[in-house]
Amino acid sequence: MIESDLDLTLFYAPTPNGWKVTICLEEMDLPYQVAPFKLGVEPPDGFLVASPNGKIPALVDRRGLGGSVQTVFESAAILLYLAEKTGQFVDPDPVGRYSVLQWLIWQAAGLGPMGGQHGHFLLYAAEKVPYAIRRYGDEVRRLYAVLDAQLARTGAFVAGENYSIADMACFPWIMTHKAQGLTLDDYPALKAWFALVRARPAVQRGLSAGGGVEAMRSRPHLTDSRVRS
Ligand SMILES: N[C@@H](CCC(=O)N[C@@H](CS)C(=O)NCC(=O)O)C(=O)O
């Protein structure tokens, strides 16, 4: 395990699933260190213990539940873990809590994977597969419309009137809209929410964790969130 005086270590790469967690850590004002993970390269020490699925993000909390080391993988589980640890960004009452949980899981099971597949077939697949581009594209557009309607209903944030971990989960996947060939002009409530969330200082700090995308890709190194480059 990586030696540091910090309790929280995040195995991280600058991707939408990674940003969900750095945004959350910044919103909660929790000090953490970023253990860079270069996608497609030999994983760093301790990574597969924290993340048996072999994907980032994964969190190690040296002072976890009951005071012992806790590892958490899957970005939505990490957000929930941090929300419960700090008592922030998830409503304490059951109605509000389930609103947050539904939208958090909706993001993890729908918006994220469908956006990922659409991005892959649209931008990266060596072979152009029109059926796959159409299938995943249609589903991403449907999901954007679902989120737009929800935001029009709440008039504020994803799960209701309060900013929550559900917003932190959705935001990085809406950030990819241009790469997905979408315009937010088609989704007015989503567009307004996106501008509001993007302007949050903690969101900006979360997006530049580890020194930002360029630094992380060219010379990834262990980074302490208390020391900003
Ligand atoms: N459902 C997972 C998805 C994690 C995931 O797909 N991570 C990607 C980066 S965004 C990854 O680690 N890719 C590296 C690989 O597949 O080797 C989560 O939300 O944490």
Q: Where are the domains of the chain?
A: 8-88+204-224, 94-198
- Tell me, what's the pLDDT at 2? 54
Please list every protein residue whose CB sits less than 6 Å from any atom of ligand 1. 15, 17, 39-40, 55-57, 74-75, 108, 112
Cα 62 to ligand 1 centre (Å): 23
Percent of the chain with pLDDT over 90: 83
| Nearest residue (CA) to ligand 1, atom 16 | 55
Q: Is 106's pLDDT higher than 90?
A: yes
CA angle 28, 22, 167 (to 5 degrees): 70
Instruction: For the domain covering 8-88+204-224, report its CATH number.
Output: 3.40.30.10
CA distance linking residue 31 with residue 198, whole number of Å: 21
Q: By the 8 A CB rule, do 19 and 200 touch?
A: no
Task: Looking at the structure, give the CATH architecture of the domain made up of residues 94-198.
Answer: Up-down Bundle (1.20)
pTM over 0.85: yes
Q: Is 1's pLDDT higher than 60?
A: no
Q: What is the best residue among 56, 111, 114 to mutate for testing ligand 1's pocket, by most ligand atoms within 8 Å of CB?
A: 56
Cα 137 to ligand 1 centre (Å): 20
- Tell me, what's the pLDDT at 219? 67
Cα 56 to ligand 1 centre (Å): 5
Q: Measured from the CA of 56, which atom of ligand 1 is nearest?
A: 12
Report, as an integer, the average pLDDT of 104-130: 97
The reply to whether 94-198 shares the fold of 8-88+204-224 is no
pLDDT in tens, 183-202: 999 999 999 999 999 999 99
- Tell me, what's the pLDDT at 206? 98
Cα 199 to ligand 1 centre (Å): 26
Q: Is 229's pLDDT higher than 60?
A: no
Q: What is the best residue among 11, 21, 51, 55 to mutate for testing ligand 1's pocket, by most ligand atoms within 8 Å of CB?
A: 55
User: Which residues touch 35 (CB under 8 Å, ≥6 apart)?
Assistant: 2, 9, 10, 11, 12, 44, 46, 47, 222
End-to-end CA distance of the chain: 24
Q: Crossing angle, helix 112-119 and helix 130-154, to 10 degrees?
A: 140
Task: Provide the strand spans (E) within the chain.
Answer: 8-12, 33-36, 58-61, 70-73, 223-224
pLDDT in tens, 146-179: 999 999 999 999 999 999 999 999 999 999 999 9
- Tell me, what's the pLDDT at 163? 98
- Cα 152 versus chain centre, distance: 22
| Nearest residue (CA) to ligand 1, atom 19 | 75
pLDDT in tens, 2-14: 567 899 999 999 9
Q: Which residue has the tokens 């993988």?
A: 73
